[in-house]
């Protein structure tokens, strides 16, 4: 890798390290968005062993400074959630493009990372699909139990079934290898059975 990759990678991680939300993983407390970035990067590398450095930077930045615009700043319900998610993607894409550009990449590379983060080309661009797959797998790995606690089993199964529909066949197959709680595994199995 090149110095510009290291600079961009470190700048993205430095931004995410300021996340006030913390998770304990293997007995170590870490910023939530760093934990998520690690999972998404790991899944990108698993799904696409030839992933280029721009894909890796996008994986690190998929939730760049997500806490800066909390979900509670938007109306409750699906419409509010979708608006919040869209606004987050646009903000994150703009911020990561600035980081990548200031790290020595040209405008085309900065825009490419932003496009992957914003999921532009989903369904047509393999790198964007790998990114989406990695996000879905990280969601199952890190957030499924929390979601089930908040929403209950039936609504969680609906969410997971919708998540699976966004995934490539390779990612759906990889989901079988995600370490889940017994309840998470049951919910995933029920979601996969849905037509």
Give the tens place of pLDDT for each residue, 143-167.
999 999 999 999 999 999 999 999 9
- H/E stretch holding 188 reads helix 182-193
Mean pLDDT for the stretch of residues 98-118? 98
Res 173 pLDDT > 70: yes
pLDDT tens digits for 127-136? 999 999 999 9
> Measured between alpha carbons, how far is 139 from 10 in angstroms, rounded to an integer?
23
Give the model's pLDDT for residue 136.
97
Q: Closest Cα partner for 1 from 44, 53, 46?
A: 53
Place of tokens 């608006």: 83
Alpha-carbon distance values, 55 to 20, 50, 64, 139, 148 (Å): 26, 10, 14, 18, 30
pLDDT classification of 1: cutoffs 50, 70, 90: low
Q: What's the token pair of residue 84? A: 């919040």
Which pLDDT score is estimated for 194? Answer: 83
Total residues found in the chain within this entry: 195
What the block records as the tokens of 17 is: 């390290």
Helix (H) or strand (E) segment spanning residue 110: helix 107-117
For residues 38 and 68, is the Cβ–Cβ distance under 8 A? no
Taking 90 as the threshold, does the pLDDT of residue 195 lie above it? no
pLDDT reported for residue 115? 97
Per the structure block, which two tokens stand in for 6?
Answer: 């290291």
Query: Tens digit of pLDDT for each residue in 31-56?
Result: 999 999 999 999 999 999 999 999 99
pLDDT for the residue numbered 138? 97
**Percentage of the chain surpassing pLDDT 70?**
99
């Amino acid at each position: 890798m090149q110095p510009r990759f290291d600079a961009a990678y470190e700048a993205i991680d430095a931004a995410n390290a300021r996340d006030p939300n913390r998770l304990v993983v293997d007995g170590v407390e870490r910023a939530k968005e760093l934990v998520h970035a690690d999972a998404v990067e790991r899944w990108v590398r698993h799904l696409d062993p030839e992933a280029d450095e721009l894909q890796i930077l996008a994986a690190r930045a998929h939730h760049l400074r997500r806490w800066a615009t909390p979900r509670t700043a938007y109306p409750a319900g699906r419409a509010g959630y979708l608006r919040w998610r869209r606004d987050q993607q646009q903000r994150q894409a703009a911020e990561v493009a600035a980081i990548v550009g200031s790290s020595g990449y040209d405008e085309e590379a900065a825009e490419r990372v932003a496009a992957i983060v914003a999921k532009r080309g989903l369904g047509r661009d393999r790198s964007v699909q790998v990114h989406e797959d990695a996000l879905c797998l990280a969601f199952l790995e890190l957030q499924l139990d929390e979601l089930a606690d908040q929403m209950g089993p039936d609504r969680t199964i609906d969410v997971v079934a919708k998540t699976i529909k966004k995934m490539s066949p390779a990612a759906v197959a990889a989901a079988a290898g995600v370490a889940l709680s017994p309840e998470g595994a049951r919910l995933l199995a029920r979601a996969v059975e849905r037509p």
